[in-house]
Amino acid sequence: MGQEITSDRFTPADFERFRARLSQETRLLEAWIQRGRFSPGPPTGGFELEAWLVDARMSPAPCNQDFLAHMGPPEATSELALFNLELNNPPERLRADGLQRLEAGLRRIWDRACATAHEIGAELVSIGILPTVDDAALSPRNMTPLKRYRALNEQVLRMRGGEPLRLDIIGREHLQSEHRDVMLESAATSFQIHFKVPAARAHWFYNASLAASAIVVGCGANAPFLFGRDLWDETRIPLFEQSVEVGGYGDAARGPLRRVIFGTGYLRHSIAECFRENLEHYPVLLPTIFPDTPPEQFAHLRLHNGTIWRWNRPLVGFDADGRPHFRIEHRVLPGPTSIRDAIANAALYYGLAAGLCMEPECLERRLPFAAARDNFYQAARLGLDARIQWFDGERRSLRAWLLGELLDLAAAGLLDLGLNRAQAHAYLDVIRARAATRRTGAHWQRAWVARHGRDMAGLTRAYLENQAGQQPVHQWD
């Protein structure tokens, strides 16, 4: 969805032509996987960090166009709302000092972005949901003026038959709200981790990412408040799932699926199974035709895939030599509390995914897909305190699993990737300290409100001051 389109008006013939191209490219992708045409590696990591622009009152500042005029692509790009933007970190091979290089690159981009925000009279905040955002800000007048966003809004509403989008989130409190546009989506900002993996084992890494999602989201939770209500530890999850809801509620055998989804099951033989599911069970949203682009670029497949928001989404990309590769986009994390926390979260994900792939045949047998899915929603709702099922049916708190054995599994995975032992343990020690103190971003926000009351501007200002100090959240006052 980062790709601009040529038109936001479509005819029935456009949908037919697009679906024909999509079918052709899906068959080609399946054939290329069988022939070994996709890159075998090496494992590589990268990120997309979505952030908020705020004004002196800590309210959303709709000025991303001014920001991008000062700091443009490829490091910064637009998002759906004028008060959001995306920062992109160059990928690094996951070996030796790869984590440290990823942190240095992300910190450099973040520091430059903060300086750019100051130039236009704003502040930049990385957080899952901005505490001060309200219904009034989430309106079409604050939509970034690009065709792809207008088209997305129109097509989502068309597929809903004009019915408004409804929020109904039950957490510590209950929130209900209705919106007649997709701007609800812009209330949730994330830290999306990319993991380029060998094509032959991409389905192993996808399955491992599903299993790891509960651990990562519970440990990285940073979005407890929406519209002043105290909801889930990671309220982004139900918010995003409900903000673009156009699909069905069943499994793949019963037709259309939800556009934002944990998944429908583990993959059995190939990552191509996700793209086949895209073709057969997801109606086309944006039928933009690329007439001069050869099928080997997978342009229509990639655009369609970009309108299906799996929490772990397989992506097709291209190496510098033009050879296609697969990446897993791990989308479960919110905007982080600090850059150090962000890389620690990434280290936890990379390590768990790689560690679980060391014995991939055990995963489906020892952790059924239904348990992995239930774990994910429990962890998003309750964070470190969630009781989750792990291997062989045993159930403990997520915090106990982390401190007991999962940090060791993550360390083994990082070492198996070839990362430096000292650096791997240094980043995982941030996670260990966070679990030991029970202080995630969500916990810190609630603790501040418990002491100072629901002054959301004050909460945001205190959060911003701590974030500027660059310490991991378990050290925040």
Q: Per the domain annotation, does 453 fall within a domain?
A: yes
Provide the domain count of the chain. 1
DSSP state string for 272-321: HHHHHHHHHHS--S-----TTS-GGG-HHHHHHHTT-EESEEEEEEE-TT
Write the DSSP symbol of residue 438.
Answer: T
Structure tokens at 105: 């690159």
Among residues 67, 62, 144, 78, the alpha carbon closest in space to that of 113 is found at: 67
Measured CA to CA, the distance from residue 162 to residue 180 in angstroms comes to 8
Domain CATH code at residue 26: 3.30.590.20
Q: Per the domain annotation, does 5 fall within a domain?
A: no
Range(s) of the domain holding residue 24: 12-475
Write the DSSP symbol of residue 453.
Answer: -
Q: Per the domain annotation, does 7 fall within a domain?
A: no
At residue 360, the pLDDT reads: 74
Residue at token pair 């502040």: 123
Quick check: 218 and 384 in contact, CB under 8 A?
yes
Q: Per the domain annotation, does 3 fall within a domain?
A: no
Measured in degrees and rounded to the nearest 5, phi and psi for residue 368 equal: -55, 150
Q: Per the domain annotation, does 462 fall within a domain?
A: yes
3-state secondary structure labels for all residues of 396-407: EEHHHHHHHHHH
Q: Per the domain annotation, does 104 fall within a domain?
A: yes
Q: Per the domain annotation, does 375 fall within a domain?
A: yes
Q: What share of the chain is helix, strand, coil (3-state, %, to 5)?
A: 50, 20, 30
Measured CA to CA, the distance from residue 114 to residue 408 in angstroms comes to 35
At residue 3, the pLDDT reads: 63
- Mean pLDDT in order along the chain per 10 residues (477 residues): 68 96 98 96 96 98 97 92 96 96 97 98 98 96 94 91 93 96 96 97 97 98 98 98 73 64 96 98 94 96 96 97 97 98 98 93 90 98 98 94 97 97 97 98 98 98 97 97
The strand ranges marked E within 321-456 are: 324-334, 387-389, 395-397
Structure tokens at 193: 């981790």
Determine the residue type at 34: Q
